Chains A and B, each alone.
Chain A
Amino acid sequence: MPPEPIPTRDKELEERFLAAYDAQVKSIFRYIYYRTGQEKEETQELTQEVFMRTWAYLQENKRPIDDIRAFLFQVARHVIADRWRKHKPALSLEELSPQEEPATPPLPHASLDLLILEQHLLKLPVRHREILTLRFISDLSTEETGRVLGISANNVAVLTNRAIKKLRKLLPTTMHDVLDA
């Protein structure tokens, strides 16, 4: 058995990729977290897979990627899609459909607002959740979001608007007061 030649290492590429890891790991994690609504452990596993796969791709193709950030988000979408095929989604259909909100007491502090917002974000349909996550939580521009999703920037703006409206409808009325204030 002739040994597989040990691939020559490209130190510069490695360093650049590790730098990309440092810069992007949190936002990729957040994207997967809100996009899938999975537990933290699961999200971490998926995040790791994103970087491993991207690295494998870089190794095979040996050519730099222009926009590593957008590329990572694209890989993340593939990783999620692959996982989706294997597993059932974490949220049941019941939870996905809008529910009657119990009357909630006045909200004491900002972090609780966020908690509620988080829960309702997870109730949105995937498409809406994804666009809001990319635009606001991952802080991508409409152009970048378009590149990740493979749609035009205009389309992104329209979808974002729709998703925001939908989210607002889902939120309990007490939250509206806070938001309108």
Chain B
Amino acid sequence: MDPLEQQLKSLNSSPASEPDPQWVASARTKLAWTMEYPVQGALPRATPLPRLRFGLRRIWMTVSISLLVVLLLGSGITYAAQGVMPDNILYPVKIASEEVLLGVTKDPVQRTNLELRLANRRVDELQALSQSETLDADIAAELHARYQKHITEVLQALPTIPQDKVQTVTETLSQDTEEHARITQELDVRASSEIKGEIKASVKASLEQMRQFTEETSRAAHYLKEKSNRPTKWKVKVETNTTGEAHVKVETEMGNNEKKEKREIEFRATPGVPLTVTSTWPMIKERREKKNDEETEDQEPSRVRATTTIIFDLDQATTTVPSNTIEQLEKMKRILNKGSFFQFQSDMSAEGGSVEQRVETDIKGQSHIRVDSQEDSQEDDD
């Protein structure tokens, strides 16, 4: 075969064209959630918006009312609308003001909190209407759809939330959804005793859907909470000073909030001398529930190894390749010039294995960073 073709084939394994493993996992989660909860909110532009009870297309309603909301902000009407129920004429104002708020909340943590608060509102509304015996099937279905949309937004946003915040978010989510499941469970009973005939049957069906959804979400949230209880942070800082020496600081954090382990290693890389630092960390393995035994929690510590190799060559530390084309290739593969600084963070896998971080400066003075992780069952020399 043509050597050039051979070379092209080996681009297959070029780290530049490799997606981040973390992204691969999170995109898969998103895809799975989309399959799990195919709600209108998941694909906003692809599916037509459902019709509102007032006969107007909701989109126009929302647009015009958003305008109204903006105009009336401060006038007290939007404020007054916050307490209204879905059977009230002002309810679209309430929904529109929520959407305005969602529209301006960009921070993923704040946004998930907001979505969760709105989900709480929907459950409150459902409960209030059911208690005042004014719940009909349309409203129940609409509230369910809206609730589902809020929760799905939260779940889909989880992979984008920073590691140190995700625990709080999943905890709140778990608590709230547990409460939602409890409330909807009770509503089922109330609806069956207080609403009559056919209406009763359709309301019941809507509530049943809602109940199933809240239960499922509550279970999922519980699992996510457990999972996020074991965060692992890994931070490597490489700083090159003007004389060409590289300072490398490795910060690692293990365990949950109650039992946090932190370790910092700092060392200096001498130009031209390869340097390898290996640190080994005990990893908490996935908890296994044993069915036969009494509740024993298996916390087998396995080892994880992380290696940072720095090869820094001062004499060659000049860039001959234009930096913009290199930058284009990949963020992780940066040029470490004299006096430059970069920082990156990666999460280790929870299964136990080794994470290798390699910073290598080639003859042209470019430093390449590589993060490899592998399953690693046997003990390592440490």
Chain A residue with the shortest CB-CB distance to B142? A1
Say yes or no: is B18 at the interface (Cβ < 8 Å to chain A). yes
A41 and B330 CA atoms in complex are apart in Å by 9
Contact between A3 and B31 (Cβ–Cβ < 8 Å)?
Answer: no
The answer, yes or no, to whether A174 is at the interface (CB within 8 Å) is: no
A55 and B51 in contact, given A3-B142, A3-B206, A6-B209 (Cβ under 8 angstroms): no
Q: In the assembly, what is the distance between CA of A121 and CA of B16, in Å?
A: 13
18 A-B pairs whose Cβ atoms sit less than 8 Å apart in the complex:
A1-B51, A3-B141, A7-B38, A18-B31, A21-B28, A33-B16, A40-B19, A40-B20, A44-B19, A95-B325, A109-B362, A112-B363, A114-B14, A117-B8, A118-B14, A136-B12, A171-B4, A179-B7
Q: CB-CB < 8 A to A17: which residues of B?
A: 31, 35
Bound complex: CA A110 to CA B14 (Å)? 11
Q: How far is the CA of A117 from the CA of B99 in the complex (A)?
A: 49
Annotate B42-78 by CB proximity to A: 1 below 8 A, 0 otherwise.
Answer: 0100100011110000000000000000000000000
Chain B CB within 8 A of A150 CB: no
Any B CB within 8 A of the CB of A64: no
Does A151 reach chain B (CB closer than 8 Å)?
no
User: 1/0 per residue A85-107: CB within 8 Å of B?
Assistant: 00000100001000000101100
**B residues less than 8 Å from A142 (CB atoms):** none
B7 touching A114, Cβ below 8 Å: yes
Nearest 9 interchain pairs by C-beta:
A3-B141, A136-B8, A29-B19, A30-B17, A179-B3, A108-B363, A14-B35, A48-B27, A33-B17
A6 to chain B, nearest CB (A): 7
Kindly list 14 other residue pairs between chains A and B, CB separation below 8 angstroms, not including A55-B31, A115-B326. Answer: A18-B32, A39-B331, A51-B31, A52-B31, A52-B43, A111-B368, A114-B10, A115-B16, A115-B329, A118-B14, A139-B12, A164-B5, A168-B4, A171-B4
CB distance from A13 to the nearest CB of B (A): 9
Q: Is A21 in contact with B31, judged by CB distance below 8 angstroms?
A: yes
Among B8, B10, B51, B331, chain A packs the most CB atoms within 10 A around the CB of B8
- We find that the number of chain B residues with CB closer than 8 angstroms to chain A is 52
Q: How far is the CB of A141 from chain B (nearest CB, A)?
A: 13
- From known contacts A6-B38, A40-B331, A104-B320, infer whether A137 and B31 are also in contact, taking CB-CB under 8 Å: no
Cβ of A137 and Cβ of B11 under 8 Å apart?
Answer: yes
Bits for B361-380, please: 1 = Cβ < 8 Å to A, else 0. 01110001000000000000
What's the Cα separation between A29 and B14 when bound, in Å? 12
Closest to B3 in A: A179
| Interface membership of B237, Cβ < 8 A | no
For A, the interface residue count at a CB cutoff of 8 angstroms equals 59
Contact B328 A1 (CB under 8 A): no
Partner of B9, one of A7, A56, A137: A137
Residues of chain A within 8 A of B206, CB atoms compared? 3
Distance in Å: Cβ of B12 to nearest Cβ of chain A: 5
**Chain A contacts for B17, CB-based, 8 A:** 29-30, 33-34, 118, 137
Given A34-B17, A114-B11, are A25 and B27 neighbors across the interface (CB < 8 Å)? yes
List residues of chain A with CB within 8 A of the CB of B368.
111
Question: Which B residues between 99 and 141 are near A, CB-CB below 8 angstroms?
Answer: 138, 141
A164 lies within 8 A of B328 (CB): no
Contact A2 B141 (CB under 8 A): yes
A-B contact count (CB 8 A): 144
B233 at the interface (CB under 8 A from A): no
Residues 131-181 of A contacting B (Cβ, < 8 Å): 132, 136-137, 139, 164, 167-168, 171, 179-180
Interface string of A1-39 (1 = CB under 8 A from B): 111101101000010011001100110011001100101
Residues of A contacting B364 in the complex (Cβ-Cβ under 8 angstroms): 105, 112
> CB-CB < 8 A to A55: which residues of B?
31, 34-35
Cβ–Cβ < 8 Å partners of A114 in chain B:
7, 10-11, 14
B83 → A minimal CB distance (Å): 22
Q: Is B161 interfacial (CB-CB < 8 Å)?
A: no
Is there contact, CB below 8 Å, between A9 and B141? no
Is B23 positioned at the interface, with any CB of A under 8 Å from its CB?
yes
A90 to chain B, nearest CB (A): 7
The answer, among A21, A25, A137, for a CB contact under 8 Å with B12, is: A137
Q: State the CA gap A95–B18 with chains docked (Å).
A: 23
A44→B320 contact, CB < 8 A: no
For B331, the closest partner residue in chain A by CB is A40
Chain A residues near B280: list those with CB within 8 A: none
